[in-house]
């Protein structure tokens, strides 16, 4: 079966700080027309940080779409045209005041390909040290930093306080590989 959809019209609905929204009219494989709602996003990185005493570094921050504060791995948006590794280094400094000797690539994935083009790059930070020069956080960015053991992470998972795709993948990666700082 042919699958390709051909765009015949793009309507720009919204241009925001984080996302844009377009509605595309497409021709389906059977020749009929349909509309597709598409959220545009520059992509993001998430960083897996495991300390020498086998704790995961997490930030707790308010997520307005969920109307609660949750634990997530350090993460942030890629600036337009920025290399994801540059984003990773910047966010690791901004959010948890650490630098890394190496960012090991773990995975990349589209968070929700049905309606969004956001791509997430997941790295494991190796050789972490405290930064001397702290970068300024984004306007309106408030967070608390935590180090949780695997048992504490499981507890927060159960309570629904860890509940997003990148952090769940980071935890599964940790459990599969039992990684820690040397």
The nearest distance, CB 141 to its own copies, in angstroms, is: 9
Binding site for its own copies (CB under 8 A): 1-5, 7, 13-14, 16-19, 21, 23-24, 26, 28-30, 32, 34-39, 41, 44, 60-66, 69-70, 72, 77, 107-118, 120, 139-140, 142-144, 163-166, 168-169, 172-173, 175-176
The nearest distance, CB 16 to its own copies, in angstroms, is: 4
Residue 136 · residue 94 · CB < 8 Å: yes
Give 18 or 135: the residue with its C-beta nearer to its own copies.
18
- The phi-psi region of residue 54 (left if phi > 0; otherwise alpha if psi is between -120 and 50; otherwise beta) is left
Give 127 or 160: the residue with its C-beta nearer to its own copies.
160
The candidate with the shortest Cα–Cα distance to 179, out of 85, 47, 87, is 47
Cα three-residue angle 167-97-135, rounded to 5 degrees: 115
DSSP element (H, E) containing 125: strand 119-130
The nearest distance, CB 9 to its own copies, in angstroms, is: 13
Q: Indicate the angle between helix axes 165-177 and 150-158, nearest 10 degrees.
A: 140
The nearest distance, CB 24 to its own copies, in angstroms, is: 6
Give 21 or 85: the residue with its C-beta nearer to its own copies.
21
Give 113 or 127: the residue with its C-beta nearer to its own copies.
113
The nearest distance, CB 111 to its own copies, in angstroms, is: 4
Cα three-residue angle 119-123-128, rounded to 5 degrees: 145
Give 41 or 55: the residue with its C-beta nearer to its own copies.
41
- Kindly compute the dihedral angle of the four CA atoms of residues 118, 147, 59, 85, in this order, to the nearest 10 degrees: -40
């Amino acid at each position: 079966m042919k699958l390709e959809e051909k765009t015949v019209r793009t309507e720009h609905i919204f241009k925001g700080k984080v996302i844009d929204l377009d509605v595309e009219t497409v021709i389906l494989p059977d020749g009929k027309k349909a509309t597709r709602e598409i959220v545009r996003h520059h992509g993001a990185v998430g960083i897996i940080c495991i300390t020498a005493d086998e704790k995961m570094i997490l930030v707790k921050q308010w997520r307005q779409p969920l109307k609660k504060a949750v634990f997530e791995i350090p993460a942030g948006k890629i600036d337009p045209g920025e290399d994801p590794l540059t984003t990773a280094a910047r966010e690791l400094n901004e959010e948890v005041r650490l630098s890394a000797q190496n960012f090991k690539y773990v995975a990349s994935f589209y968070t929700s390909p049905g309606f969004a083009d956001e791509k997430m790059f997941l790295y494991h930070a190796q050789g972490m040290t405290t930064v001397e020069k702290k970068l300024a956080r984004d306007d309106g960015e408030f967070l608390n930093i935590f180090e949780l053991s695997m048992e504490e992470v499981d507890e927060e998972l159960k309570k629904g306080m860890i509940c997003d795709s990148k952090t769940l993948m980071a935890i599964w990666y940790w459990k599969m590989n039992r990684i820690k700082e040397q």
